[in-house]
Amino acid sequence: MNISSDVIKRIAAARRIAVLTGAGISAESGIPTFRGEDGIWKKIRPEELASMDAFLKNPALVWEWYEYRRKIIRDVTPNAAHYTLAEMEKHLPHLSISTQNIDGLHQRAGSARVYELHGNILRNRCNNCGRIDQNLDLGKDKKRPTCECGGLIRPDVVWFGEMLPADILDKSFEEAQNADVYFSIGTSAVVYPAAQLPVEALHNGAYVIEINLEPTPLTSRVHAHYHGKAGDILPELWQAVKNEIGRLDP
């Protein structure tokens, strides 16, 4: 891969780096993406399973789908791209990740500053009082669980038609506005408000780098883009940055 020395120097010199990740970063771990050829939304309509209406209409079916996805996510492990971002956070002055993924793989790889824009599938939450429920066992009879307050317990993820958690969205925008370098990795960059984050970074003078298998609506606007697997590109890029930092600070 041909990495320009400008890209390497920008990353090595950055005081603040912010990253947006999407389903593509977890694809190499074995979690299907949403819009690819085998994408989840090619097989089911989101409003049938990932919406409050669907949940109220047929909670058993929605729980079944989430139990199935939880099993996939529990059985997979982070890949080289997740581990590289975790290592970068440890060695660079400031790196944060805003992720659209609900799989928790960034945290399992060791990343600490992670903003989960769409929630986390390995948590439940009361739809009424908002209490987080770590008990994911629906019981043998798979009864529809309810909270002490009487509200419905649901997966702690953002469904279609719902707002993103305001504090997390605010933090993500703040990170984008203050970043010297911004990465958009493995996202089709079409779902808002997340897709606005790299644009916000661009408007605030960040050097924006995209890593994706294919071009996206963002590609023509970024400073550098790499087409390929995040698990191949990120480690190579990071190795080049480490070499540069070592050269500057022997």
Catalytic sites, residue numbers: 118
Q: CA–CA separation, 200 vs 35, rounded Å?
A: 24
Using alpha carbons, select from 17, 34, 36 the residue that is nearest to residue 111.
17
C-beta of residue 76 within 8 angstroms of C-beta of residue 29: yes
Q: Is there binding between residue 188 and ligand OAD (CB under 6 A)?
A: yes
User: What does each C-alpha distance from 122 to 27, 73, 189 come to in angstroms?
Assistant: 18, 9, 24
Q: Which of 247, 242, 246 is nearest to 3 (CA)?
A: 242
Interaction of residue 209 with ligand OAD, rule CB under 6 A: no
| 27 near ligand OAD (CB under 6 A) | yes
Nearer to ligand OAD, 213 or 245 (CB): 213
**Backbone φ, ψ for residue 195 (5° rounding):** -65, -15
Decide if residue 191 touches ligand OAD (CB under 6 A).
yes
Question: CB of residue 22 vs ligand OAD: minimum separation in angstroms?
Answer: 3
Regarding 186 and contact with ligand OAD (CB under 6 A), the answer is yes
Figure out which of the listed residues 9, 34, 128, 165 binds ligand OAD, where binding follows CB under 6 A.
Answer: 34
The residues of the shown chain that bind ligand OAD, judged by CB under 6 A, are 22-24, 27-28, 33-36, 39, 50, 100, 118, 158, 186-188, 191, 211-214, 216, 229-230
